[in-house]
């Protein structure tokens, strides 16, 4: 299929659609897409033309992994906010590239399928500890009634399960708060190195070995300090949980004059571990809610599988992006890239 044929196909679609070729240029956009962006984006590099980090992330991942990507984007044009479900699909027949379609959700209220999946996941996650607690109660009411040693053991296990439910509920609340704030720009003035140093200190106090190389020029940015604290805590905690036991974790910062994808000056803050690494097939899905590589291992370690989903939302609220690089049996590097202006 050539460029003219692609244009004819997407013109016929009836929803906003774009085609980004392998060289990252938008080679076709239908009228509906042009009216969404209020700009003829055809001919431009996608990362410069489309301003939402979530859209740029999804297209980048689709170009890189050739897998379907979806993202929820909030678009503001002429003071009107519109919510779209963006879908990217890779086409490798004829002209190679990504077909992007936008589905307007503004009038649909809650996106029903996503909502249903989410409720099903939450119910499943809550049911597991709840079932365990019910089981312990039954045992304590029956066979273990007079067994003091068993009583102690079971109460300990019940406490762990209820702590897990508590963590899950707090993570869910935190996720919904962040989603509600997505269109509100953060307003605290935050020195990023100071904040990072506080997180590092709190882990060092728990005997985690961290090599900190905070080499960047520190920047005061408009940010939400508590939320960024949550991002770095999760990245360091993940490096501890899934990295190599006992090996140090390295935290580095670096300034970039212009981030290749955000196209603004930024600070890159990375957390590196030397653990088992992550198979590339998991990388595109790692920031999905409840996505875990090894669900059993994560749950054992008290994980809810929401940490990276929350981190991604927070970083996107700061107009930044999360980069994940990993090499099997060498380790992983998670980098939060935050614009400094």
Ligand X SMILES: Nc1ncnc2c1ncn2[C@@H]1O[C@H](COP(=O)(O)OP(=O)(O)OP(=O)(O)O)[C@@H](O)[C@H]1O
Instruction: Check binding of 332 to ligand X (CB under 6 A).
Output: yes
Q: How many CB atoms lie within 10 A of CB 254?
A: 16
Instruction: Check binding of 287 to Mg ion (CB under 5 A).
Output: no
- Residue 72's φ and ψ, nearest 5 degrees, are -100, 125
Q: Nearer Cβ to ligand X, position 30 or 270?
A: 270
The residue nearest ligand X at its CB is: 307
Give how far the C-alpha of residue 82 lies from the chain's centroid of Cα atoms, to the nearest Å: 21
Instruction: Check binding of 298 to Mg ion (CB under 5 A).
Output: no
Binding positions for Mg ion, 306-335, rule CB under 5 A: 307
- How far apart are the C-alpha atoms of 101 and 87, rounded to whole Å? 5
Identify the bridge partners of residue 21 per DSSP, sorted by sequence position.
97
306 binds, among Mg ion, ligand X, none (CB under 5 to 8 A by kind): ligand X
Instruction: Check binding of 294 to ligand X (CB under 6 A).
Output: yes
Instruction: Check binding of 234 to ligand X (CB under 6 A).
Output: yes
Q: Do the beta carbons of residue 229 and residue 237 sit within 8 Å? A: no
Instruction: Check binding of 199 to ligand X (CB under 6 A).
Output: no
Binding positions for Mg ion, 211-240, rule CB under 5 A: 234, 238
- Residue 140's φ and ψ, nearest 5 degrees, are -70, -30
- How far apart are the C-alpha atoms of 187 and 189, rounded to whole Å? 7
Q: How far is CA 64 from CA 2, 158, 255, in A?
A: 22, 45, 25
Q: Nearer Cβ to ligand X, position 135 or 295?
A: 295
- How far apart are the C-alpha atoms of 148 and 154, rounded to whole Å? 10
Instruction: Check binding of 152 to ligand X (CB under 6 A).
Output: no
Residue 326 has, within 13 A of its CA and on its CB side, a CA count of 21
- How far apart are the C-alpha atoms of 340 and 221, rounded to whole Å? 6
Instruction: Check binding of 239 to ligand X (CB under 6 A).
Output: yes
Tell me how far, at minimum, the Cβ of 208 lies from ligand X, in Å.
13
x-marked contacts with ligand X along 262-281 as a string, rule CB under 6 A? -----------x-x--x---
Q: Nearer Cβ to ligand X, position 76 or 330?
A: 330
Per the structure block, which two tokens stand in for 211?
A: 């090599």
266 binds, among Mg ion, ligand X, none (CB under 5 to 8 A by kind): none
Binding positions for ligand X, 156-185, rule CB under 6 A: 171
Could you list the residues that contact Mg ion (CB under 5 A)? 234, 238, 307
Could you list the residues that contact ligand X (CB under 6 A)? 171, 234, 238-239, 242-243, 273, 275, 278, 286, 292-294, 298, 303-309, 332
């Amino acid at each position: 299929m050539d460029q003219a044929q692609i244009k004819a196909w997407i013109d016929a679609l009836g929803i906003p659609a774009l085609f980004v070729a392998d060289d990252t240029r938008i080679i076709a956009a239908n009228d509906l897409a042009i009216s969404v962006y209020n700009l003829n984006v055809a001919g431009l590099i996608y990362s410069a033309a489309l301003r939402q980090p979530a859209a740029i992330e999804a297209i980048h991942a689709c170009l890189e992994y050739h897998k379907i990507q979806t993202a929820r984007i909030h678009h503001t044009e002429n003071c009107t906010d519109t919510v779209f479900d963006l879908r990217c699909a890779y086409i490798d027949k004829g002209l190679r590239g990504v077909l992007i379609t936008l589905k307007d959700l503004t009038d649909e209220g809650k996106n029903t399928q996503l909502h249903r999946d989410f409720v099903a996941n939450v119910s499943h996650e809550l049911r597991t500890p709840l079932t365990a607690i019910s089981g312990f109660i039954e045992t304590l009411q029956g066979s273990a009634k007079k067994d003091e040693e068993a009583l102690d053991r079971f109460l300990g296990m019940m406490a762990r399960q209820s702590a897990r439910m508590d963590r899950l509920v707090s993570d869910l609340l935190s996720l919904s708060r962040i989603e509600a704030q997505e269109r509100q720009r953060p307003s605290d003035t935050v020195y990023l190195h100071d904040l990072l140093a506080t997180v590092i200190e709190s882990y060092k106090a728990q005997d985690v070995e961290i090599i900190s190389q905070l080499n960047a020029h520190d920047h005061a940015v408009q940010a939400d300090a508590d939320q960024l604290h949550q991002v770095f805590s999760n990245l360091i905690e993940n490096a501890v949980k899934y990295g190599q036991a006992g090996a140090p974790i390295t935290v580095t910062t670096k300034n970039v004059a212009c981030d290749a994808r955000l196209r603004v000056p930024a600070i890159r803050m990375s957390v590196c571990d030397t653990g088992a690494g992550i198979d590339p097939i998991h990388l595109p899905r790692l920031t999905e809610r409840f996505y875990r590589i090894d669900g059993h291992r994560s749950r054992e370690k008290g994980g809810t599988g929401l940490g990276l989903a929350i981190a991604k939302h927070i970083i996107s609220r700061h107009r930044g992006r999360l980069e994940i690089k990993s090499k099997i049996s060498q380790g992983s590097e998670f980098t939060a890239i935050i614009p400094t202006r």
